[in-house]
Structures are given as C-alpha cells and as structure tokens.
Homo-oligomer: A and B are copies of this chain.
C-alpha cells in the first residue's frame, strides 16, 4: 500500500507556484488571487494531496491532541464520559492522550510536564462524580482545562458535571406524580457528595409537598446487596411505604428483589426509581426498560466537554447537565 505520499511541494510544482503560495492558497491565509487559489486547490485535489498533519501541527505548535487525566479510567462512569468525548473530539481530528492515575506511576506533576512537552491543545480532567473535589490544575497549563463529572475548589474553573440535586428533585417529583406519598430513600455513603446532594434535592421537593420521608434516609453503599438489605429493614420498620427512591440502579435492583420477596408487587404496592440509567449504559440500543431511573447525562457531559474544549473561550464556572427521567416498569 505504499502509494507515494504526495507533499505540498509536489502540489506547488504541479501547479507551477512556489511552496509558500501553495501553502497560503490551501490555508486561505494571506492575499492570494482567487484564480491562483482555485488552481492550487484543484491540482491538490487532482493529485490527492493531504496535509501531513504531523508536520503541520508541528509548524503551528499545536498537536491536535487533548490530554485526559483520570483518577480511574476503568470506572464505568468515567468510561462513558471518556468514550463520548473521544468520539466527539475524533470527529474534529483531535486525538486524546490518556493518563490514568491508577496505571501510571508518574505523579501529577510529571504528567503535566509530559503533556505540556507534547504541546497538547487542551486538558480534560474526569472525576468519578461522587466524592472529592479535584485539585485545580488550570493554572498549571497554558491551554484550556475542563473538569468533567467532578468539581474543583476554584469556582472559576470550567466544570461540567451532573446535577445531583436536580436528580433528587426529579425522582421525588416523578414519584409524587404517580400518586405516591409514603416515600423512602436508600442511598450510599453519607459522606458521598452525590448521595448527599441527591438526598437534599429529594427532601426539598418532599418538603414543598408538605411531606416527610416515610422512614429516615438509609445511607449505606453503592451496591446491589445494600439495596436488598436496606429494603428488608425498611419494610420491617415502615411496612406501608409505597415508593422507594434508590440512590443508584444497582441499589434499585437489590431493592426490587427484596420488595418482591416480601410478597409485594412492583410497582403495584411499591414503586421504585433508581439513578444511572444502567440499562442504557449497558446496552445502548433502544431496549425496553425495566427499572425506572434517572439518566444523569454522562454522554451529554462528554459532548459538552468536547464542545467547550473546541470553543475559543468557554465561560468559567460550573455547568450542570440536566438529568432526565427514564420511565419504565417499576413506577
């Protein structure tokens, strides 16, 4: 497949103009007569010329590459954001260079130097969306830095993340709209940022409706078996509960099993709503849903990250992606 790769000087020669003229003609820069420009263009096309992107980037000092810093690239949420952003960026000829904190033995400073040496055009920091703020690295780069699915200490950083509070609100509003009034909440670790905010949003709507939790919020883990365990306790304590807002779909799955095991019908006796849209994350195709859930908008985060990165000057600050209720069979 060694078809001779043709260079800009080939084009220039064939068109009978100088190398610089050819460059300017194809780039649309500088003053070139429309005739010449067109002539160069057609000869370039005829010869099947394509820029040597590498040399080109080099001459321009831009690598057409975005650095990505993750805490744990194998985290499934991280993966979604990563894959979506990579897809969008790829469509714009931007490559990504991923440094995963878990794999690399280099520390962050080393990664930063490495990325700078590579003359990357921008940086994405992808967090796990749950607990700790990411340290702000913005000032250590001279290119745009965008934080995805996390937050930082610096309010001026460009951040795109999930709206956990709104997730909580949506969940409760949805359950209320289905006529449920005796609602409980099972979620993860009490110190988890996402868990806290989802609970807070939920309580807000509950209070607005003049209601209270049917039973105190149960904090535990992001795990299926916790859902099962917590529901067992819950039903013992508040047997008349008619809806459970589960902090994640995994918890929701466990919860559903426990509810059914108690002889109750879902959603007849107890409605269930989760968070994550696990099924779509796993299947992508338009499958028929089982568990009603809230999509936190990970793909949208990935898309917006890519868009902001290509934007010459993105507005600083936190941008929350709006979550969506995905109705299925459990409510």
Q: Which residues of A contact B (CB under 8 A)?
A: 1-2, 5, 50-55, 57-58, 61, 63-65, 68, 70, 72-76, 78-80, 82-84, 86-91, 93-100, 103-104, 113-114, 116-119, 139-142, 222-225, 250, 253-254, 257, 260-261, 278-279, 281-284, 287-288, 290, 299
Contact = CB atoms under 8 A, between A and B. Distances in A.
Given A90-B99, A93-B114, A98-B90, A225 B290 contact: yes
Contacts of A51: 117
Contacts of A54: 57-58, 61, 63, 118-119
A89 B86 CA distance: 14
A140 B2 CA distance: 9
A86 B76 contact: no
Contact of A96 (B57, B86, B116, B119): B86
A254 B80 CA distance: 24
A28 to B, nearest CB: 18
A87 B58 contact: no
Number of copies of this protein chain within its complex: 2
B104 A288 contact: no
A278 B64 CA distance: 35
A186 B223 CA distance: 27
Quick one: which of A87, A114, A140, A283 has the most chain B CB within 10 A?
A: A87
B87 A284 contact: no
A83 B87 contact: no
B99 A225 contact: no
17 contacts: A1-B139, A50-B114, A50-B116, A53-B117, A53-B118, A53-B119, A54-B119, A55-B58, A76-B283, A76-B284, A82-B83, A87-B100, A87-B103, A89-B98, A90-B100, A91-B99, A95-B95
A283 to B, nearest CB: 7
B83 A119 contact: no
